[in-house]
Amino acid sequence: MLVLDKISKSFKQKTVAREISFEVGRGKTAAVLGASGSGKSTLLNIIAGLVQPDGGEVLLGGEKQNALPPESRHVAMMFQDFALLPHLNVWQNAAFGLRMRGMGKADAKRRAEEMLEEVGLGGMGERRTDALSGGEKQRVALARALVGKPKVLLLDEPFSSLDTALRSQLQQLARDMVRQRDIPAVLVTHDPAEACFMADSLVLLSSGSLIQHGTPEEVLQRPANAAAARLLGCMNVSEQRYIPPEAVRISPEGTQCRLLHCFRLPAGWRITAQHPEYGELSCFADAPVHDSTCRIAVAETQIVCFQAA
Ligand code: ADP
Ligand code: MG
């Protein structure tokens, strides 16, 4: 089990982690979702031992990690840009970590080739890496990450540069291999679909703060606030206000949308719905409205709410 216990970090005046705590069990993946610059990579670097936290502790299997150098942590990382070594061929790249740890060439090659077979690159060990496709490069990177039997796998937006079909193959492969190896994994991404597909739990970060943590189902059903809803790609959120889906009830025939009593529409606020056929539908509150009705349809409807000028 990987535990982050109140991890804090600032660079000069900028706080990139504010007492971040979460756990990832063996064989499980946690996805850290956050906008660019929200501190996602820094969190991975802290787990890997490449950045020291100002406060808090990283624990792996109950053991404190902060005092350990990166090479003693048995952490493997994958990055968006593959980070393969161009002068080495495929098996040499996959075997790189083993060789660095002093394993003999023949053993390292055999282990690397077994691993390449597992990631779908059997028989490609002698190829040059610059001749590989993006998906193949990322398979080499996955083989290199896992060949040394790491205790944790850290994935820093590794699939972002791949096209859709390849991306989903690699996501599935990485997810399956984390489960088979029974190690915790932390995936950093800004793609909510990837997070929900790969992860058992989501960690939503905004400017260094953890704003929500739970299973994908829990978090998607009840985003904690507008920032969380936006990170999850929810459509019904605007800069000013977020309407939780449970506050809106749509009639069975799909022609009426009611705001339930639990959601109070303040005076001067307007709700609009983008209907694919009828265009913008809206209702406006000139006094606080507790139970307001507007015409709307279910399919492809986007509900947004904003303060009328
Ligand atoms: P993300 O991966 O979510 O895009 P990062 O963790 O890379 O975010 O960075 C968060 C913030 O911390 C950014 O504003 C970045 O410029 C800053 N930062 C990251 N590393 C350093 C560093 N070594 N020194 C100073 N600032 C840094
Ligand atoms: Mg990053």
Closest by CA to 56, choosing from 43, 41, 38, is 43
Q: Where are the alpha helices (DSSP H) in the chain?
A: 40-48, 90-94, 96-100, 105-118, 134-147, 164-181, 192-198, 216-221, 226-231
Quick check: 169 pLDDT over 60? yes
Quick check: 279 pLDDT over 80? no
Ligand 1 pocket, residues with Cβ under 6 angstroms:
11, 14, 16, 34, 36-42
What is the C-alpha separation between 183 and 188, in angstroms, rounded? 16
Find which of 16-30, 166-180, 239-253, 267-281 is predicted with most confidence, using mean pLDDT. Answer: 16-30
Closest residue by CA, ligand 1 atom 21: 11
What is the C-alpha separation between 180 and 12, in angstroms, rounded? 41
Provide the pLDDT confidence category of residue 2 given band limits of 50, 70 and 90. Answer: very high
Q: Determine the distance from the C-alpha atom of residue 224 to the mean position of all C-alpha atoms in its chain, rounded to a whole number.
A: 17
Quick check: 294 pLDDT over 50? no
Quote the pLDDT of residue 231. 87
Query: How do strand 279-284 and strand 248-250 relate by DSSP bridges?
Result: unpaired
Atom of ligand 1 at shortest range from CA of 42: 6
Quick check: 64 pLDDT over 60? yes
pLDDT in tens, 86-116: 999 999 999 999 999 899 999 999 999 999 9
Q: Determine the distance from the C-alpha atom of residue 77 to the mean position of all C-alpha atoms in its chain, rounded to a whole number.
A: 14
Q: Which of 11, 18, 160 has the most ligand 1 atoms within 8 A of CB, as the residue to mutate?
A: 11
Looking at every residue in the chain, the average pLDDT score rounds to 81
Quote the pLDDT of residue 193. 87
Closest residue by CA, ligand 1 atom 1: 37
Quote the pLDDT of residue 26. 96
What is the C-alpha separation between 301 and 307, in angstroms, rounded? 20
Atom of ligand 1 at shortest range from CA of 208: 10
Give the DSSP per-residue string, 34-73. E-TTSSHHHHHHHHHTSS--SEEEEEETTEE-TTS-GGGS
Quote the pLDDT of residue 232. 83
Q: Running DSSP on this structure, what letter comes out for residue 245?
A: G
In the reported structure, the alpha carbon of residue 53 is separated from the centroid of ligand 1 by a whole-number distance in angstroms of 13
Quote the pLDDT of residue 235. 58
Give percent of the chain above pLDDT 70. Answer: 75
Which ligand is located closest to the Cα atom of residue 16? 1
Which ligand is located closest to the Cα atom of residue 208? 1
In the reported structure, the alpha carbon of residue 118 is separated from the centroid of ligand 2 by a whole-number distance in angstroms of 28
Closest residue by CA, ligand 1 atom 7: 41
Tell me the residue type at 37: G
